[in-house]
Structure 1
Amino acid sequence: MKIYKKILGVTLLSCFALSSCDEDKLIELNSNKNASTDIDMSYLLAYGQLRVAGSRFESWRTNLIYSSTMIQHNATLQGYWSGDKYYYNASYSGAYWSTHFSDAIKLLTEVVDKTADDADLANIHSAAQIMRAFDLHRMTDIYGDIPYKQAGRGTIDGDANWFPAYETQEEVYSLLVADIKAARDSFSDSAKNLGEQDVLFQGDLTKWKKFANALLMRVALRMSNVDAATAQAVFTEAATSGAIDSNDADGFLTQVLGTGGDTNYNGTSLAMSSEGGGGGDNNAKVSKTFLDWMNANNDPRKMIIVGGVGNPYNDKSTWITDPELQVGLPNGYTTTTIKNIVPDFVTVDDYSFINPDIINLDDPTPFISYAEVEFMLAEAAVKGWITTDSETHFSNGINAAMNSWAAFGVQTPAQADINAYIEGLGYASADNKLELIGEQYWAATYLNHIESWSNWRRTGYPALTPTSDPNNMTGGTIPRRLRYYENEIGTNPENYKTAIARQGADLMTTRIWWDK
C-alpha cells in the first residue's frame, strides 16, 4: 500500500508538472479491476429506501433542529438548535443536500437506470422511481431549484453529469408528476415480485400504487397557489385512481434495528441514551405553541405526544404525568434569554418532554399517511375540485391521525373521546374550514416535521407567531427555505450561480416557486 501511494503521488506530481496528464488514465489507475460490477438491484432498492428514511446526521439537523422548531412542534433552549431562533448554520442547513444527493439519490438513480429496459425488473424500476421522486420532492421543497435530471448520475453516465444543472422548481414539479405516474402505471403482476427486500411494502403492488397517488396529491396541492389548473387535474386523477385508504396502507417505513441503517433517526437524536440515542432531556421539549393548541381543543393526543414533566432519564415514577400539569416550552429562547419571560427559570426539566414511547429506535419513520390523504381530500372538496363531502374527509382524517399512533406501540384514544373532539371543533358550520384542515394536518404530521413545514408555508396554517431572538438571520420571520449546501459554491459554481440568479438570493427568507 505504501509503495502504491508513492507511485500514485509521483504520477500526480508528474501530471501537474507537465500539465498534460490523461484524466482517463488517472481514473483507470484508481479503479479496482477485481471489484464486482454486478450488484443485486433488489438490495440497492432496499438500501435506497432506508437512506431516504435518513441517517442521524441530516435527520437531526433538517427534520429536528430546523423543521420541528420552525414549525413550533418542538422547542429548545440549546443554542445550536438553530430552527426556532432563525440562525444560519451552514452544516445544518446543507445537511439534507450533502447526504441525500450522494447517498439515497445516487442509489435509487442507479436502480432506475439499470432496470429501465428489463421487463422482468419493472417493479423494482417503478418502486425505485417513486422513492427517487419522493426524496427529490422533499429536496426541492427544502431548497427550491435543484438538479433533477442529472441528479445521482455522476458515477453512472460519466463526467457529463459531474456538475449537474439545476432545474427550476416549476420544471422539477413537472418531472415529478411525469415520473410518479409512469412508475405507478408500470407496476406489473407478471414482473419479478419485490418480496421482502421491499422494506416499505414487502412487495404489495396495490399499496405502492396507493402511495404513488398519495404522493401525486401532495405534489398537486403544493403547487395549487401557482398553477391551480394543473394542480386540480393532477390531484383529481390521482384521487380517482385510488390513494392510501386506511392506516394499514400508511407509507410508514418499519424499522427493526437491523443492519444497514435500519434505525429510526428521530430516535437516535431524541431517545434515551441507554437505547442508543442521545440528549433527549436537553435537545427538545414539546413546544408551548403546540401544547397550548392541544389544550385549547381538548386534544386526546396530548399524552401520546407528551411524556411528562421532569427529566426523561430519571426513574419514570418521578415524572409528572398529570395531563393538567403539562407545560410547553416557549420557542425562540436560550437558557439566558428565557429569563426575560421566566425570571425564576431554573431548569428545562420544568417543561414537558416528548413521549419516549414514540421515539424508540425501532419506531417507524413516516413518509405519508392515510390521515394526510383525508385532509387533502377535505381541502380539495372545499376548493370544489371534488364532489365528495369535506366534513366526512375531515372526520376520517382525525380518526386516522389518532389511530395511526398504534404503529408506535402506544395506546390510542378511545373512540368516544375522538368523537367528542371532532364534534367540539364544529367543522360543519365553520367559516374557517381551510384553517381547521391546516391545523389538523400540522398535528397529524408530528415527527414528519419537514412535511409540516412545507404545508405550513403553502397554507399559512396554523397561524404561528415568529420568535425574536436578537441574533436571528431572517429579520424575525420564519424561514421559507434552507440555504444550499455551501460546497456547491466551489464545486458546482456556474450552476449554483444560475440557480440563485433565477430564484433569488441564497437566503432563508427567499420564497421558492410555489410559496406564494
Structure 2
Amino acid sequence: MKKIKIFITACLFLSFSSCTDNFEDINTNPNLIDQISPGTLLNEVIYNMASNNLTNHYNVNAQLMQVQLSYPQYYAGIQRYEILETTGNSQWNAGYKWVKNLREMLKTAEAEQAANYTAIGLTLNAWIYSNLTDTFGDIPFSEASQAEDGILQPKYDTQEDIYTQILKDLATANSLYDHTQTMNYGTDILFANDTRKWQKFTNSLRLRLLLRTSDVRSTSYSEMKAILQDPVANPIISQAGDAAILLITGVTPNISPWSRALDFSNQHAVGEFFMGVLNDLEDPRRPFIAGQAVKNTVPIGYKGIPSGYDETNFDYSPSYMNNQQVVAPMIIPILTLAEVEFIQAELAQKGHWSDAEGHFKSGIRAATELWTKQSLPDSYFNNPLANYDGTLERIILHKYLATYFTDNQQWSDYRRTGFPELPRTSSMLNDAVLPSRLLYPDVQKIYNPSNYEAAAQKMGGDEINSKVWWDIN
C-alpha cells in the first residue's frame, strides 16, 4: 500500500498521462492469476471435487446405505431418513463452484486448440453434473455459471435433458483425445498426463451413466454394447492401474479431507448390515474398514449397530470406523476397475453382453485387492454368498461393497435396482422408505424462486420421495 500511495501523491504534481503510463504494472498483485492456461484449474477441480464427494459419501450416502452410522452423541438424523434443506448444501455448493471453473478451463482449452484438455474438461463436467442431478433431480445446467453474462436466475433443466447432453459430451470427448499431443500445462494429479488413461475414464463414465439410464432410455444398452465391442475406439478401464483413483499424498495442498483423522472414527460406528455382509463372506476388507467390537474389554469380532437404532446404548462397544483410511497417503476412488467389471456383469446378466460370472468374479477380486493390496485367494469363492447365482441382486450386493468410498454410487444403484435389500427399523422416519433425492438448498427459494418453483412442481414437489427421472422402481 505504501508504494501505491506514494505513486498517487506524485501524480498530483505531474501530468496525468505520465502517471498512468505504467500504473497497471505497478498496481498488479503478483499473487493473483490474470491469465489462465488450460491446466491452471485442472488439479483444483479434481482435488476439491474428489474430496467433497468423499465427505458427502461418508456423511450422507454411507448413512443412508447403512455403511457407517453416527453413534451415540452425534446427529443421527440422516440414517433415520431425516433430510433437511441443508443436507445437500455441501454437494450443491461445491459442484457449482467447480463446474464454473471447468467452464473457464474449456473456454481456454478451445481457444488454445488443446484437444486433450477439452476432452478432460468435458469428462469432469459430466462427472460433476451427473452426481448433482442424480442427487437433486432437475437442476440448473444450460444456464448455470453464467452470472457474468447476466444470467443470475438460471432455469432448471430436466434430468433427461442433462443426461442427453453429458452423454453426448462424453462421446465427443472420446473422439477428441490425441495421444500424440503433449499436455503442456502442468502435470495433473489423477493420471499424470496419461491421455490414454483419461480416455478410459471418459468411456467408463459413459458406461456408468448409460447403465444408470437403461430403464428409461431405449438406446442405452445398445450404446454400452457398442462401446465394449470396439475397445480400440472406446477403451475402458480394464486393469487396476487404469482406475480413476486419486492418491492423496499428504503433501500440501494434496491433503486428507479430514484435518483430524479421529473425526472419521470417533462416534461413527460401522453399520450392522454392511458389516454383516462382510462377516458372512469372511471378507479380508474388514480390518481396513473398521476395528473390532469389544464387550467387557474382550474383542468380539466385527460387529456394527443397526441403522436408526432404537437403543442409545448396547451391551458392547461396536466396531468403529478405521480412521487410517483417511490418513495420507490414502485413496479417493472416483471410478474403479471393480465398478466397470460389475457394470459388465449386469449387462451380461440382462442378456446384452457375455460372461456375467467372469465379470462378477473379476469385480470382487478388484474390489478386495484395492484395499488389501493382496491377491484374493480362490477359496474366497467357496462361500455360497461369493458365488454368482444368476441374479441381479447378487451382482448389486457385491457392487455395493465395491463402491464403498465412491461418492453416491451405492445410493444411486439402490434407487435404480432396489438392491441390496436394506433392513428397516421402527425408529426410521418417512415410513422407513429410503429417500429418493435430497432437497434443494433453501437459498434457491430466495434467490431463484420462479425457476425453483417450476422445477419443484414438475418433479412432483421438492420432497424426498419425488423420484428422479431414471428411478422407476
Normalised TM-score (structure 2):
0.86
Q: CA deviation at 1:238?
A: 2.7
Residue in structure 2 matching 1:331, options 292, 301, 307: 307
On the 8 A contact 2:381/2:387 being kept in 1, the answer is no
Q: CA deviation at 1:358?
A: 2.1
Structure 1: runs of 5 or more not aligned = 2-31, 273-277, 312-317
Query: Structure 1 pair 230/414, CA: closer, same or farther in 2 (3 Å)?
Result: closer
On the 8 A contact 1:63/1:449 being kept in 2, the answer is yes
Task: Give the corresponding residue for 1:238.
Answer: 227
On the 8 A contact 2:338/2:366 being kept in 1, the answer is yes
Task: Give the corresponding residue for 2:356.
Answer: 390
Q: Is 1:128 aligned to residue 121 of structure 2?
A: yes
On the 8 A contact 2:210/2:224 being kept in 1, the answer is yes
On the 8 A contact 1:76/1:331 being kept in 2, the answer is no
Q: Does the residue aligned with 2:334 lie in a helix, a strand or coil? A: strand
Aligned partner letter, 1:45: L
Task: Give the corresponding residue for 2:436.
Answer: 480
On the 8 A contact 1:307/1:356 being kept in 2, the answer is no
Q: CA deviation at 1:378?
A: 0.6
Cα deviations by residue, 1:208-254 (Å, 9 ceiling, x for unpaired): 11111110111011111112x22113312332322100111111011
Q: CA deviation at 1:153?
A: 3.0
Task: Give the corresponding residue for 1:285.
Answer: 269
Aligned partner letter, 1:264: S
Aligned partner letter, 2:207: M
On the 8 A contact 1:264/1:364 being kept in 2, the answer is no
- For the residues of structure 2 that align with 1:76 and 1:412, how far apart are their CA atoms? 31
On the 8 A contact 2:339/2:399 being kept in 1, the answer is yes
Aligned partner letter, 1:231: S
Q: Does the residue aligned with 1:116 lie in a helix, a strand or coil? A: helix
Q: CA deviation at 1:285?
A: 1.3
Query: Structure 1 pair 325/285, CA: closer, same or farther in 2 (3 Å)?
Result: same
Q: CA deviation at 1:198?
A: 1.2
Task: Give the corresponding residue for 1:6.
Answer: none
- For the residues of structure 2 that align with 1:436 and 1:212, how far apart are their CA atoms? 27
Q: Does the residue aligned with 2:101 lie in a helix, a strand or coil? A: helix
Residue in structure 2 matching 1:253, options 246, 257, 270: 246
Query: Structure 1 pair 467/65, CA: closer, same or farther in 2 (3 Å)?
Result: farther
- For the residues of structure 1 that align with 2:216 and 2:418, how far apart are their CA atoms? 15
Cα deviations by residue, 1:124-157 (Å, 9 ceiling, x for unpaired): 12111111110110111110011222233334xx
Cα deviations by residue, 1:4-53 (Å, 9 ceiling, x for unpaired): xxxxxxxxxxxxxxxxxxxxxxxxxxxx9876531233121111111211
Matches within 5 A, 1:113-192: 113-119=107-113, 121-155=114-148, 158-159=149-150, 161-192=151-182
Cα deviations by residue, 1:475-513 (Å, 9 ceiling, x for unpaired): 321111101111111111121111111112111111111
Q: CA deviation at 1:268?
A: 4.3
Residue in structure 1 matching 2:279, options 276, 290, 295: 295
Task: Give the corresponding residue for 1:365.
Answer: 332
Query: Structure 1 pair 480/104, CA: closer, same or farther in 2 (3 Å)?
Result: same
On the 8 A contact 1:232/1:385 being kept in 2, the answer is yes
- For the residues of structure 2 that align with 1:81 and 1:295, how far apart are their CA atoms? 24
Structure 2: runs of 5 or more not aligned = 2-26
Matches within 5 A, 1:11-410: 36-55=33-52, 59-60=54-55, 62-77=56-71, 78-101=73-96, 103-119=97-113, 121-155=114-148, 158-159=149-150, 161-193=151-183, 197-227=187-217, 229-240=218-229, 241-260=234-253, 262-265=254-257, 267-268=258-259, 271-272=261-262, 278=263, 280-282=265-267, 284-309=268-293, 325-333=301-309, 337-339=310-312, 345=314, 350-386=317-353, 388-405=354-371, 410=372
Question: Root-mean-square deviation (CA), in Å?
Answer: 2.5
On the 8 A contact 1:466/1:476 being kept in 2, the answer is yes
Aligned length: 440
Normalised TM-score (structure 1):
0.79
- For the residues of structure 2 that align with 1:279 and 1:299, how far apart are their CA atoms? 22
